[in-house]
Amino acid sequence: MKLSNLTFIVTDACNFNCAYCVQKKENNTISHTCIDTAVDFFYPFLEQEEQVYIGFYGGEPLLAYDKITTAVQLIGEKNKIENKNITFSVTTNGVLLTDEMLDFFNRHSFALTLSFDGLAQDTGRKKGTMQKMLRVMEQVRHFPRIDFEINSVFTPRTIPMFSDSLRFIIERGGEGITFNINNMEDWSPSDLEILKKELDRLTAFLTSYYKETGKIPVTNFRVPVSGGGVFRCGAGKERMAVTPDGKIWGCYLFHDYFRACGGERHFQYPDFSFGPLEEFIADFGRRYAETVVHYEGLRQDFFQVEGKHCFLCRDVKSCMVCPVNAAYSSGELGKISCRQCVLNKIQLNARKNFQVASDGQG
């Protein structure tokens, strides 16, 4: 096992209740003992020559800020000897951010992702938080070693605000925005038409912006349409996640998914759970070998849409579907719903249009 990504889900609690969030909110918070044990065990498996990402996730991770600082300090002590190329990251809704926190993130060169939906913020996330998000964007500018990005989510309800929202963020200095189109809700034919028109508007704006500045601020449009080969999920092979209750998954998304879909009662739970940390460590060789084979099957050409294999699709090398996100609407890891497939094809077509409009340099 060689890891390029290790995530600590420091808490399941959250101070938001976003309309589209599927996370099961609880008050579980990771213990200092669990962090200490996980760091001791996983550190030797972190890549020596490649970039390694240590992430902090929730819930809202800043509710357990002390656990973040503990983990960073423990890893920092170990890394004084081996000097691995480690980047820390945190994903937050931003409301609890203080200058003290930002100073800590700055000193440790964090990548900070702010969950912010632009003009749709007060509709989809939490009413009254728009101005706070703009203040956070301004605050972060004073901490130059923080790699600042924004994550935005849109639903059928907020999709009419999509292109204006991203343009709003970009014009206020947002240079690294990733958008997600929510697949948990039904999209009517009229909703899909609005999505197409909104993507056309965004494409036109980004083409003009790229020709003027040479920059592509929306990360979704930085991915080459041709692809570099068939997408395969790195969960369980290059990445691992530690949960607040001390369990191990191949990626933090599996923790959210199985809690939302029945927990241990879900028929795929035994296949993808590496088990409690202490038991995983005690029987590492067997547990890892028996579980990782299920993660190895999570690759695009192995997926199915309504019984049809994705390897038969001409877009298989251009399509990158997160198996967990897809499972929320299909009901099973390894399967993609027709809804997800349609949403992906619409977005892929927008990326193609952007590359053509920007002379293939996007």
Domain count, the chain: 1
Instruction: Evaluate whether residue 75 is within a structural domain.
Output: yes
Listing DSSP states for 125-162 in one string gives T-TT-HHHHHHHHHHHTT-TTSEEEEEEEE-TTTGGGH
Instruction: Evaluate whether residue 64 is within a structural domain.
Output: yes
Domain assignment of residue 57, given as a range: 5-222
Instruction: Evaluate whether residue 173 is within a structural domain.
Output: yes
Tokens of 224: 């080459």
Q: Which residues in the chain show pLDDT less than 70?
A: 226-228, 360-362
CATH of the domain at 207: 3.20.20.70
Nearest to 38 by CA among 231, 284, 269, 213: 284
Instruction: Evaluate whether residue 116 is within a structural domain.
Output: yes
Strands of the 335-336 sheet, one edge to the other: 308-309, 304-305, 335-336
- Summarised one tens digit per residue, pLDDT across range 57-113 is 999 999 999 999 999 999 999 999 999 999 999 999 999 999 999 999 999 999 999
Instruction: Evaluate whether residue 67 is within a structural domain.
Output: yes
- Summarised one tens digit per residue, pLDDT across range 20-61 is 888 888 899 999 999 999 999 999 999 998 999 999 999 999
Instruction: Evaluate whether residue 21 is within a structural domain.
Output: yes
Instruction: Evaluate whether residue 31 is within a structural domain.
Output: yes
Instruction: Evaluate whether residue 36 is within a structural domain.
Output: yes
